Amino acid sequence: MAWGSLLLLLGLLAAPGRGDPGPLEDVVIDRYFIPKVCLREAQMGDFIRYHYNGTFKDGQKFDSSYDRGATVAGVVGVGRLITGMDRGLQGMCVNERRHLIVPPHLGYGSIGVAGMIPPDATLYFDVIMLDIWNKEDKLQITTLHKPERCNRTVENSDFVRYHYNGTLLDGTHFDSRYRDTYDTYVGTGWLIKGMDEGLLGMCAGEKRRIIIPPFLAYGEKGYGTVIPPQASLVFDVLLVDLHNPKDGISLEHLEVPASCKRKAVTGDFVRYHYNGTLMDGMLFDSSYSRNHTYDTYIGKGYVIPGMDQGLQGVCVGEKRRIIVPPHLGYGENGAGNKIPGSAVLIFDIHVIDFHNPLDSVEIETLSRPEGCNVTTQERDFVRYHYNCSLLDGTNNSPATADWYEVGGGPRQVIDGLNTGLLNMCVGEKRVIIIPPHLGHGENGARGVPGSAVLRFEVELLSREEGVPEGYLFIWHGDPPANLYEDMDLNKDGEIPPEEFSTFIKAQLTEGKGRLMPSSDPETVIADMFQNQDRNQDGKITAEELKLKSDEDQERIHEEL
């Protein structure tokens, strides 16, 4: 007979023998170790698992579950054990240790067990309780931590990623998943029933303790060598994230500008900052850390599908949260070593600006003087105040531009600003929005990032009618018939710089001509002299003046 069956022979062997059983004694119980926390005590009808050593009074061992390498499992208090053991096990807590002394009439009586336990033997048991459950038990769930923000909880058919520690009820560790996550569907039979139920209603970031009775776990068979038959299981679970294969992206509008004249659509080029995190808050990427926006076309497949969708309809300056399920992110394979497979991604974005490659300059007139009938034209010279900034308001730089030739060449300003300065009245104020292909392009400029949309606030201070391209001075009427003689003030047959300057200034004073507008007229006059002085000998001869005049006439004729 196997020793493991000794305690189950009450019906056959515990009947009174013919001899005198001796004085009637009850079982003696010594609770020599009681755990500080006792959530439950074994009661009649409970199913229990325990280890024991059985000896006689002299210390000789007659049985041990340890020696067999398997715990004893059974129902307590219903006559399936010897009476002394039935009584001695009741009221025990998990991990409690007891010494039990069982008198013969509560053990194997006057018959004993042939070759194993002599008649009228008092039995000594050293017992540790490992597990207690009842067929009426339900799943026990304790919430250890729940995040303040929980927009969604686990439902059947969701796919979840979680960490866990798994122990038996006595604290024996059998499994852990913290190096990576355990990834599975809920409510589809991929998990034991107790875990399927225990994960329902969890939030991402929530921690739970789930105690699962054996009939909702691995039951009578157990699992391998780590989970014995009829074992209650304890799982400490941290839910990392969840999604459903039917999910689309989820949007949260964190900050929307009061004024939004335009929203991004497919084909627009967007510049934005972002922080990218997993659902447990782990940061996997940030444009802020690189101090550079992420720049891309949307709706063209240059980014993951979830971002392509999530950027649709954004306003300049908007902040929004885009939650991307894995099938619209990096899928089952993840990306690099920071985005695991099947991970839900959260992007907190701030849109700096966007434009379309087909955009033209956008002009908004803030104020325009009444009765304005003269406006800036190509080749006019203008002075203006301006503030230049990016669309998010950064890089603001107030300044005054001094005598810029509108539409002149080579360009002194970006094409978009040149366009925005046309058809302005003196005193008019404008806002000019310039897309990058009419600004500083993909490469940007000092203080201007690549592909940036620019915003100019402009006030036109003054305007002067321009001169034809390549000219520094033009006559308001016909020039003097004897130009050289009039210019040669001391009549010595040559014109030095001083005489040339004096003559030109006199024409300006008398209103007979005008210079190209400049903050330094002396420099313009000096340039005019250099153009006339072909021999570069510091004086203008009649021959030189005639050649230059003939060339000018020919050039004007060609232009006409």
Active site residues: 52, 62-63, 82, 108, 125
Residue of 228, 234, 233, 197 whose CA lies nearest to 217: 233
Q: Across-strand partners of 177?
A: 164
* Nearest Cα to Cα of residue 295 among 442, 455, 440, 447: 442
Phi (first) and psi of residue 97, to 5 degrees:
-120, 135
* Among 503, 281, 465, CA closest to 379: 465
Residue with structure tokens 């690549």?
Answer: 450
Q: Which helix (H) or strand (E) holds 546?
A: helix 542-559
Residue 180 β-bridge partners? none
What are the tokens at 419? 């366009």
Long-range contacts of 524-533 (CB under 8 A, 24+ apart): 524/472, 524/473, 525/500, 525/501, 526/497, 526/501, 527/472, 528/472, 528/473, 528/500, 528/504, 529/497, 529/500, 529/501, 531/472, 532/500
Peptide bond into 410 cis (omega under 30): yes
Which among 12, 132, 123, 13 has a CA at the least distance from the CA of 64? 123
How many whole angstroms separate alpha carbon 159 and alpha carbon 210? Answer: 19
- Residue with token string 């679970």: 237
Which element (helix H / strand E) includes 127? strand 123-133
Q: How far apart are CA 472 and CA 515, in angstroms?
A: 6
* Distance, first Cα to last Cα, the chain: 126
| Burial status of residue 52 (CB atoms within 10 A of its CB: 0-12, 13-18, 19 or more) | buried
Residues 252 and 151: their CA atoms lie apart, in Å, by: 11
In what helix (H) or strand (E) does residue 10 lie, and over which residues does it extend?
helix 10-13
Tell me the C-alpha distance between 451 and 295, whole Å.
8
Q: Which of 333, 340, 335, 328 is nearest to 280 (CA)?
A: 340
373: Cβ–Cβ under 8 A, 6 or more apart, which residues? none
For the record, the structure tokens of 344 come out as 């839900």
Closest alpha carbon to 308 in 253, 260, 266, 278: 266
- Cβ atoms within 10 A of the Cβ of 485, count? 11
